[in-house]
Each structure stands twice: as C-alpha cells, then as structure tokens.
Chain A
Amino acid sequence: MALSSKTKAVLLGPLNKNNPIIVQVLGICSALAVTSKLEPALVMAISVTIVVAFANVIISLLRKTIPNRIRIIVQLVVAAALVTIVSEVLKAYSYEVNKQLSVFVGLIVTNCILMGRLEAFALGNGPWPSFLDGIGNGLGYGWILVVVGFFRELLGSGSLMGHKVIPQSFYDAGYENNGLMMLAPMAILLVACIIWIHRANNKELQEENN
C-alpha cells in the first residue's frame, strides 16, 4: 500500500516531530498515572489509539452534518461512547489489567489528545486521513508510555510485564529496587529526559535564545 507523502506525514508526524506528549505536552496526566508497570501502559496505549482513531473517523464522517453550536458536545458524546465500549470490553476480556487502569480508562475522555485531534483534524478532513491521524497520535502517545513504563517497572520492581528479569543474585549482592520509580514524580522526570534527548536531536524544535 503506497502512501502519499502527505498521508505519511499525517501518520508518522505524531510519532516524532509532532509528538503529543513530548512536543505538544498533552496527555501528561495519564502518562504519569498508568506507567508504573509496563502492561497497563501497553493496554492504555492500545486503548487510546483505538479510541482516537475511531472517534476521528466517526467525527470525520459526521463533519458535514454536525451543527456548529453543539459540535463539542457531539465530539464528547462520540468519545465517551467509544471509551465506555473499550472499558466494557476490558472488563470482560482483561479484568486484571482493567483493575490496574481503574479510573484512567474512563478518563481517556478527558485526554487532551483525543479532543484536540477531533477539533483540529477530524472536523476538517476526510475519514481516511482522520483514521491515520488517530492511529499516528495514539501510537505517538503510546510509545512514550511504553518507554516510561519499561524503565519504571524495570528499575522500580525489577520485572517486566510482571516477570522477574533482575536475577536474585543481584539482590543478594545488595541491589535494591528503587521505590521512587513507583511514584508519579519519577514518571515526569523520565518524560523530561525523553524530551531532552528528543530536542537535542531535533534542532528545529529548539527555541531561539536571544
């Protein structure tokens, strides 16, 4: 499937130069809350990707019919309905993870990325680019979550996806899990480190210092 350069930009931009978390600094709240373990971070990333992609498609299909005065309400209803469906499906098929994500599945509705994409992109573009835009932004949000979740679980619990990866001999030799990693402030420090590295590698993102 060949993608034109424009659709490519729509899909891949949010992964890098236009990343919702590390460039636009949106969706930070849930990025801090669900990343203490890798598995919930992964499920959250997938859930947000699905919700943003489909909400984008639905709003894009409806964009010529939505009354302008209630367009935010329409966006919210569509987003809330999709989030509720995701939450119900998780409860039925992934109960353990749903318990860990607790309120944050419901709070996808309030995720700035979601409303931002609906308002800024889906209202003005066709269903297919909107779908790609949703997937791109979801993945852009998701990979940051997964990276943060990876380091927090590895250093905080010595495990990955719930499996012990740091051998017992390390603990016997005096190594200890870093309890600080389990707390939200460490997530923001990790996000900050990612932003630092990302900016250092992308000169055009740096502000002029005069």
Chain B
Amino acid sequence: MDNNRIMNRENSGYTIIYAAVMVIIVALGLAFTHQMLIEKQTANVNIDKMQQILRSLNIDASTNEAQAQYDSLVKNAYLVDNKGAKIEGTEGTTPNDPAFSTELGSDDVRGLPVYEALVGGKQVFVLPMRGAGLWGPIWGYLAVEADGSTVYGSEFGHASETPGLGAEIVTPAFRKQFIGKKLFKEGNFVSVAVVKPGRSVANRDYVDGISGGTITSQGVDKMLLNSVGEYKSFLTNLQTVQ
C-alpha cells in the first residue's frame, strides 16, 4: 500500500495534476486576499499622497488627520493644458477626480494636475513633479504662491536613494530651503537651482544640495527645471492676472 503511493507520486500524470491543482488553489487564495484588502490599500496610497501634498504646504499631518486637513485646505484641483488653461470638466479634489488620479509620465495624461489650496488666507498652487535620482525615480510637490513665482513650500520623495546621502532630500532641512525662492527672474522661467553646498549661481535663486548626494541633488535640480517648466504657461498666466 505504502509502496504503491510512492510509485504513484512519481507518476507523470500525478505530477502534472498535482502542479495544476496547487497553482489553481494558490491563485484563488491570492486573488481572494487581494480583493479583501484592495480597498484599504488604495485608501493608504491616497492618504500618503494627501500627506505629501500637505507637506508641500509645510503641514505635517499624521495618517489620521491627513484626510480632514486635505479636505479643509485644498479647495480645488484640476488639469491644465500646455497653454496653462484649465481643462473643462476636470475639476474636483477627491481621489477619483482627474487631478488626483493622474499619474505624471503615464501615456494617457490629458493635462497637468494643479491643486489650489487656501492656507492661512493665502492662495497657493501645488504642482506635482517627477524626475530621476541616482538609483531610481524621485518625485515631489512644489507649492507656488499666487504670484506664480514665489515658492511656498516643497516636498520630495524617492524610491531608492542612498540612506543618509541622496535620501536626505526628504528631510525638512533640505526642503525648507526652497521657501521664498523665486522661479522667475525678469519675466523668464529659470527655476530654482540646486548647487553644491557653498557654490552659487548667477541670475537664479539657488539652494544647497546634499553633500555626498550629488547625483540625487542634480536630479532634483533637473526635476524642478523640467517638471515645473511644463507649468511655465500656467505660472506666467498667474503673473499676468496680477
């Protein structure tokens, strides 16, 4: 009897059926787990994004307060086209609306997301950014005041920069340097430069990069120039309104 079973175990038919049944059971189990948890996971991702937007407004919100803070501060969100004009029908601040759900760099982008916030009576525009660091993607949010040039705050994130070096771009010490810097000089978009600590740049506002995190700092510099550069017309429009 026992011998029989061992024989059967090595039978090709048994092996194939065993493998097939096992894979189907595992697949069903995993699909079920995913379905059970997907709602909570999406909520976490959305809360995380709200926390990032709030940090660009210089507000550190805990996971529990993020939603309430976001709802009370972010008044409007929409997509703008490359001429800086608001695209009709894209307004809305909830995670299901186009501004929030648009991922920069994906193929079916209809426009550039802009979040309008009112902080302490001041109107602020939050612009998402994305770029490349040393090891992987970096991203961030830049909050610009209603004059279209002054930086109100910034937030950076990264996938895999070196801890203690490039990864320092997420620290307040780095981020707070951007406050008050101007994106425009004499009507031209020049962005804010990230330079080696101690160096300076003519005709542009600049902040100190991270020592030992040169490539990541350059990545932030490029990201500011390129990602915020795409909003040039939008920011120029803000200036003419004034």
Contacts and interface: CB of A to CB of B under 8 A. Distances in A.
B30 interface: yes
B10 A69 contact: yes
Contact of B160 (A88, A96, A102): A102
Contacts of B164: 156, 179, 182-183
B37 A89 contact: yes
B15 A69 contact: yes
Contact of B22 (A74, A95, A183): A74
Given A81-B30, A182-B164, A183-B164, A91 B37 contact: yes
Majority SS at the chain B contact face: helix
B9 interface: yes
Q: Which residue of A36, A88, A96, A102 has the most chain B CB atoms within 10 A of its CB atom?
A: A88
Interface string A26-45: 00000000001000000000
B37 A88 contact: yes
Given A36-B163, A81-B30, A89-B37, A95 B18 contact: no
| Size bin of chain A's contact surface | 20 to 34
Given A91-B41, A92-B37, A67 B30 contact: no
A166 B44 CA distance: 32
B48 interface: yes
Nearest to A184: B163
Interface residues on B, range: 20 to 34
B4 interface: no
B18 A65 contact: yes
A190 B33 CA distance: 38
Interface in A70-114: 70, 73-74, 77-78, 81, 84-85, 88-89, 91-93, 95-96, 99, 102
B9 A91 contact: no
A46 to B, nearest CB: 18
B26 interface: yes
A78 B23 CA distance: 9
B44 A183 contact: no
B160 to A, nearest CB: 7
A68 interface: yes
Nearest to B27: A81
Contacts of B18: 65-67, 70, 74
Contacts of A96: 63
A54 B47 CA distance: 32
Contacts of A77: 22-23, 26
B29 interface: yes
B75 interface: no
B10 A88 contact: no
A156 B10 CA distance: 54
A183 B163 contact: yes
Interface of A: 36, 64-70, 73-74, 77-78, 81, 84-85, 88-89, 91-93, 95-96, 99, 102, 156, 179, 182-183
